[in-house]
Amino acid sequence: MIKPHGADILKPLFIENSVERNALLEEAASLPALILNSASAANAVMLGAGYFTPLEGYMNVADTLSVAEKMQTENGLFWPVPCINCTDDITAIEGSSTIALLDPNIEGNPVLAIQNVEAIESLSEAQINLVTKQIFGTLDTGHPGVKTFKGLGKYLISGPIKVLNYSYFETDFASTFRTALQIRNQIEQNNWETVVAFQTRNPMHRAHEELCKIAQESINADGILIHMLLGRLKPGDIPADIRDAAIRKMVELYFPKNTVMVTGYGFDMLYAGPREAVLHAVFRQNAGCTHLIVGRDHAGVGDFYGPFDAQTIFDNNTIIDALDIEIFKADHTAYSKKLNKVVMLRDATDHTKEDFVMLSGTRVRDMLAAGEDLPPEFARPEVAEILMSYYQQEENL
């Protein structure tokens, strides 16, 4: 099986031993405590689940700036997006060597992790802008990722952590949330050697379904990992439970049995385009996948990135040398009325726009909210039914 990134074995930071975990929870009750923001909490979950192998905790200012500028830590480890714990208030933890990290996403703010504090440093406004610009390619707060990142706070708390639970992901998405180790173990049990991953924060329509099948056939993959983001999204995006139901229905009815794993991971969407696409590749290599589908405008938002920027970044020699996972570069896909099947646009050079069934996201939402059937060439009827029920419920609230 493909090796994890930067290590011979996966390095999840979740404390598996229940006795040790309970002792740490008891210890945490007497420690200075910090309520995390959702982004820092998501980083803790990903560290615990092994997706951030080989990191041992949150980065300091030097590593944060180095990763932002060069996609490498100070000691040369390749990493595309800083893994940080930021806050705007250090009153409760100043001078502490060990702190309890509290979950902002669960009522009562239970302990999520314990951190050994190596440093508490502040980022200047110029440094925050530098990191923002490098990660997101813009300082425009109309970009949802920029707006969130710039609001996290200027104090950066670095040091290793021990993760004590997986926040709400394990309970709210019991059948879907999986750690990198659990996925690796399942791939091994399935005797899959070549595995192609598909990242999604949206429901999957016919074009997404066929893209997975095209990629599987092209690389002769044993199986497909459909890996959905379960954390926070921007307003207007479809909630994870609805996406989960729609994707599972599609896989049940339209994929051969035992060829697809439907799973999810506990991270908040960054909308960071090219940099986030590279981070997605790290996640999937750590989960045991040999290939990742990177499509048009992967992890993008609005018009902040070119349609293929998230593909061309993988031509960077630093990334080529650092990662073992291979990238399946996909074009936009749509149903061809000429060929009566879904195709990638680059393979249909004799087509005009009128030869495809294409709907904007706004048009899809309007049709579903109005109870109008989506064209079967665009969406499977069983998937559309789940989405329609959700949108009509939203309209009636």
Question: How does DSSP assign 29-85, residue by residue?
Answer: TTS-EEEPPHHHHHHHHHHHTTTTTT--EE--HHHHHHHHHHSB-TT--B-SS----
Same domain? For 244 and 185 the reply is yes
> What residue numbers bound the domain in which 369 lies?
178-265+271-396
The predicted model gives 176-180 an average pLDDT of: 97
* Percent of the chain whose predicted confidence (pLDDT) is above 90: 81
- Residue tagged 């905790």 (tokens): 57
Local confidence band at 396 (pLDDT 50, 70, 90 cut-offs): low
Tell which of 117, 142, 167 closes a domain: 167
| pLDDT > 90? residue 270 | yes
Tell which of 167, 197, 212 closes a domain: 167
Active-site annotation holds for 365: no
* pLDDT at residue 395 in the model: 67
- CATH number of the domain bearing residue 390: 3.40.50.620
Residue 5 lies inside a defined structural domain of this protein: no
Same domain? For 135 and 208 the reply is no
The Cα 185–Cα 118 span in angstroms is 34
* pLDDT at residue 334 in the model: 83
Tell which of 167, 194, 217 closes a domain: 167
Chain centre distance of CA 143: 17
Residues 183 and 363 sit within 8 Å (Cβ to Cβ)? no
Residue 38 lies inside a defined structural domain of this protein: yes
* pLDDT at residue 320 in the model: 95
Catalytic residue among 201, 206, 284, 380: 201
Same domain? For 261 and 346 the reply is yes
Residue 6 lies inside a defined structural domain of this protein: no
Domain count, the chain: 2
* pLDDT at residue 364 in the model: 81
| pLDDT > 90? residue 102 | yes
Q: Which residue has the higher pLDDT, 129 or 347?
A: 129
* pLDDT at residue 333 in the model: 83
Tens digit of each residue's pLDDT (9 = 90 or more) over 31-44:
999 999 999 999 99
| pLDDT > 70? residue 13 | yes
* pLDDT at residue 83 in the model: 98
- Residue tagged 């050079």 (tokens): 349
| pLDDT > 90? residue 359 | no
Active-site annotation holds for 21: no
Residue 292 lies inside a defined structural domain of this protein: yes
Looking at every residue in the chain, the average pLDDT score rounds to 94
Look at 34-48, 258-272, 291-305, 353-367 and tell me which has the smallest mean pLDDT. Answer: 353-367
CA 219, 222, 227: angle at the middle one, nearest 5? 90
Local confidence band at 46 (pLDDT 50, 70, 90 cut-offs): very high
* pLDDT at residue 346 in the model: 86
Same domain? For 201 and 154 the reply is no
The predicted model gives 220-229 an average pLDDT of: 97
Catalytic residue among 202, 232, 248, 365: 202
- CATH number of the domain bearing residue 151: 3.10.400.10
Same domain? For 129 and 235 the reply is no
